[in-house]
């Protein structure tokens, strides 16, 4: 019996996770799966691009090497773009001129960099001027590294997560770096004003100049980048990197008559308004929300795998409570839910430790945690995420929830969650370490810990060093 053909358009982190979820449900044997990826390599972790900027190979951040697809019976078509899709004909066409049949298709096209309309950024042919870059793909980062020289002046436009990571990477390469941010708070989607001040101080201690509330009007220079114009004020620079947000990639869906808004419109089963056409990840819009962080995307992939394989036909995605826990340019940052107390009866608890450079804030509503911001020390994040997710009542002494995990009801006690992206607890990791997973790649392959945002990799290394049998002091993960 011929297996139905499943086409997955895009090969980013959502596709990597969806393939894993399908595999765990027997889906790789249920469908004939074809993955179409525009980049020449297997799926990789875009959050860890800074390692490539620092000289590492793409294989260091790869989630699915090209060999994985063949080994699992998945047809992988790299280096081509899907240019058109016909729902009625159940066909799609790729940039190499080939036609492909499908029974079911999944849009996992992700997002693209949101580059502002800036005068002088591009050449007459539409390509970026020499010295101008977008921080989005492995190829982008490799070109940045080739161009960068110690002592060169660089400007990074955008003070979000990836912008600060790009700035840190360039500073580590010996460049003089200035971060230019449109808003008055760095990472303004994740932290409040006070948290932004602490983050800014930590970034400036790295030797990086920060300019906030600045709008870039033009890129100066005829043939190559010579600086930025802020509308009367200029900043000399031989290199400019744009990392000023992302937007869902919906052009293919729109041109294929798949209904879109900001993202591709999907229901609780991640299905579009067209039968057997689905969307998942940063390109999908569910209940008027487009998610751009790892955890909601992984939750969507679980539901979609249930639906596609029939494991649970009634599986439904109801939206996500968003939280992030990252190390941004070497600074620990965690954020979840609301970052401001915006209702009359909301309670805000803030702890400021100027000397340590640590800021912690809780937002409480009806005795439940509805938001938190941690900068400089995110050790309480795992317990807070548990309270945020399950809505447990908080103790009368609010400071208890910022103590160790043992003090937080339901937080895991002596078995705290180490990897928030994949919900992997200490006991699971210790079991695998004692069974021979004595490097981070081995441990990640067995548990998936460290393959999401990557912020827990330091904890994984410490667990390995302390618990691997006969581990030598010089062993590295």
pLDDT > 60? residue 108: yes
Task: Write out the E strands in 215-357.
Answer: 218-220, 227-229, 234-236, 239-242, 246-248, 264-266, 277-279, 284-286, 289-290, 323-328, 331-337, 347-353
Q: What is the DSSP letter of 311?
A: S
**Percent of the chain scoring above 90 in pLDDT:** 72
Residue 474 banded pLDDT, cuts 50, 70, 90: very low
Q: pTM of the entire structure?
A: 0.88
pLDDT for 279 equals 98
pLDDT for 413 equals 54
Label residues 99-116 b or e (16+ Cβ within 10 Å = b): ebebebbbbbbbbbbebe
Q: What is the pLDDT of residues 249-265, one digit of tens each?
A: 999 999 999 999 999 99
pLDDT for 1 equals 67
Structure tokens at 440: 């981070």
pLDDT for 399 equals 86
Residue 443 banded pLDDT, cuts 50, 70, 90: confident
Query: In this structure, what are the phi and psi dihedrals at residue 75, rounded to the nearest 5 degrees?
Result: -80, 125
CA–CA gap between residue 52 and residue 74 (Å, rounded):
27
CA–CA gap between residue 238 and residue 228 (Å, rounded):
10
CA–CA gap between residue 363 and residue 373 (Å, rounded):
9
pLDDT for 446 equals 86
The DSSP line for 423-476 is: TEEHHHHHHHHHTT--SHHHHHHHH-TTSSS-TTHHHHHHHHHHHSTT--TT--
pLDDT for 195 equals 96
Q: What is the DSSP letter of 453?
A: S
pLDDT > 70? residue 332: yes
pLDDT for 414 equals 63
Contact by Cβ (8 Å): 49, 12: no
Better pLDDT: 414 or 76: 76
Averaged pLDDT for residues 420-446: 85
Averaged pLDDT for residues 321-329: 84
Averaged pLDDT for residues 89-113: 97
CA–CA gap between residue 444 and residue 176 (Å, rounded):
35
Report helix, strand or coil for 69. helix
CA–CA gap between residue 237 and residue 133 (Å, rounded):
13
Contact by Cβ (8 Å): 189, 179: no
CA–CA gap between residue 19 and residue 101 (Å, rounded):
19
Distances (CA, A) of 412 to 406, 418, 425, 460: 7, 10, 8, 17
Closest-CA residue to 104 (of 278, 255, 253, 272) = 278
Better pLDDT: 304 or 405: 304
pLDDT > 70? residue 471: no
Q: What is the pLDDT of residues 117-163, one digit of tens each?
A: 899 999 988 899 999 999 999 999 999 999 999 999 999 999 998 89
pLDDT for 477 equals 45
Query: In this structure, what are the phi and psi dihedrals at residue 167, rounded to the nearest 5 degrees?
Result: -60, -45
Average model confidence (pLDDT) across the chain: 91
Domain ranges of the chain: 5-111+247-309, 132-244, 338-414
Residue 405 banded pLDDT, cuts 50, 70, 90: very low
Q: Tell me whether domains 5-111+247-309 and 338-414 share a fold.
A: no
User: Which CATH class for the 5-111+247-309 domain?
Assistant: alpha beta
Supply angle C-alpha 326, 158, 182, rounded to 5.
120
Q: What is the pLDDT of residues 193-221, one digit of tens each?
A: 999 999 999 999 999 999 999 999 999 99
Closest-CA residue to 44 (of 26, 72, 25, 66) = 66
Where helices occur in 291-392 by DSSP H, the ranges are 294-309, 381-390
pLDDT for 409 equals 47
CA–CA gap between residue 1 and residue 4 (Å, rounded):
9
Sign of the Cα pseudo-torsion (456, 461, 465, 467, in order): positive
Q: What is the pLDDT of residues 267-318, one digit of tens each?
A: 999 999 999 999 999 999 999 999 988 889 999 999 999 999 999 989 999 9
Helix, strand, coil tally for the chain in percent (to 5): 30, 25, 45
Q: What topology is assigned to 132-244 in CATH? A: FAD/NAD(P)-binding domain (3.50.50)
Q: What is the pLDDT of residues 34-86, one digit of tens each?
A: 999 999 999 999 888 999 999 999 999 999 999 999 999 999 999 999 999 99
pLDDT > 70? residue 407: no
Closest-CA residue to 385 (of 357, 358, 350, 421) = 421
CA–CA gap between residue 381 and residue 63 (Å, rounded):
25
Residue 323 banded pLDDT, cuts 50, 70, 90: confident
CA–CA gap between residue 165 and residue 50 (Å, rounded):
6
Compute CA 361 distance to the chain's CA centroid, rounded to the nearest angstrom: 23
Q: What is the pLDDT of residues 165-180, one digit of tens each?
A: 999 999 999 999 999 9
The CATH code for residues 338-414 is 3.30.390
Closest-CA residue to 385 (of 323, 307, 299, 457) = 323
Query: In this structure, what are the phi and psi dihedrals at residue 87, rounded to the nearest 5 degrees?
Result: -65, -40
Strands 417-419 and 424-425, by their bridges, are: antiparallel
pLDDT for 14 equals 97
Compute CA 45 distance to the chain's CA centroid, rounded to the nearest angstrom: 8
Closest-CA residue to 456 (of 427, 431, 429) = 429
């Amino acid at each position: 019996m011929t297996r139905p053909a499943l086409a997955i358009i895009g090969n980013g982190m959502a596709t990597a996770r969806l393939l894993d979820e399908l595999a765990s449900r027997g889906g790789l044997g249920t469908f004939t799966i074809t993955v179409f990826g525009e980049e020449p390599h297997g799926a990789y972790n875009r959050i860890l691009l800074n390692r490539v900027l620092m000289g590492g190979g793409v294989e260091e951040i790869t989630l699915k090497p090209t060999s994985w697809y063949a080994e699992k019976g998945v047809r992988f078509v790299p280096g081509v773009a899907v240019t058109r899709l016909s729902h009625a004909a159940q066909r799609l066409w790729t940039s190499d001129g080939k036609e492909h049949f499908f029974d079911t298709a999944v849009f996992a096209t992700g997002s693209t960099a949101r580059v502002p309309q800036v005068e002088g950024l591009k050449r007459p042919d539409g390509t970026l001027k020499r010295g101008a870059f977008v921080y989005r793909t492995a190829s982008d980062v490799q070109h940045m590294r080739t161009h960068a020289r110690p002592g060169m002046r660089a400007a990074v436009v955008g003070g979000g997560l990836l912008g600060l990571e790009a700035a840190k990477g360039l500073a580590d390469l010996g460049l003089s770096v200035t971060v230019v941010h449109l808003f008055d708070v760095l990472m303004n989607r994740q932290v409040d004003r006070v948290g932004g001040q602490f983050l800014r101080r930590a970034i400036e201690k790295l030797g990086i100049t920060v300019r906030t509330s600045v709008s870039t009007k033009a890129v100066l220079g005829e043939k190559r980048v010579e600086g930025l114009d802020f509308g009367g004020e200029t900043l000399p620079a031989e290199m400019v990197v744009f990392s000023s947000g992302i937007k869902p990639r919906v052009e293919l869906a729109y041109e294929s008559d798949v209904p879109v808004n900001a993202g591709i419109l999907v229901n609780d089963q991640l299905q579009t308004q067209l039968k057997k056409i689905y969307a998942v990840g940063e390109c999908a819009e569910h209940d008027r929300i487009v998610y751009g962080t790892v955890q909601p995307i992984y939750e969507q992939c679980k539901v979609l795998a249930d639906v596609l394989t029939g494991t649970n036909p009634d599986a439904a995605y109801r939206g996500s409570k968003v939280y992030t826990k990252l190390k941004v340019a070497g600074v620990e940052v965690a954020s979840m839910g609301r970052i401001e107390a915006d209702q009359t009866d909301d309670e805000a608890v803030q702890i400021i430790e100027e000397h340590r450079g640590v800021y912690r804030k809780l937002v409480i509503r009806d005795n439940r945690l509805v938001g938190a911001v941690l900068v400089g020390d995110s050790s309480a994040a795992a317990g807070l995420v548990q309270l945020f997710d399950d809505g447990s009542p908080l103790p009368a002494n609010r400071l208890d929830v910022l103590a160790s995990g043992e003090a937080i009801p339901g937080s895991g006690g002596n078995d705290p969650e180490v990897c928030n992206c994949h919900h992997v607890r200490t006991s699971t990791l210790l079991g695998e370490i004692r069974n021979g997973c004595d490097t981070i790649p081995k441990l990640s392959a067995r548990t998936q810990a460290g393959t999401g945002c990557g912020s827990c990799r330091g904890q994984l290394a410490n667990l390995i060093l302390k618990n691997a049998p006969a581990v030598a002091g010089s062993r590295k993960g």
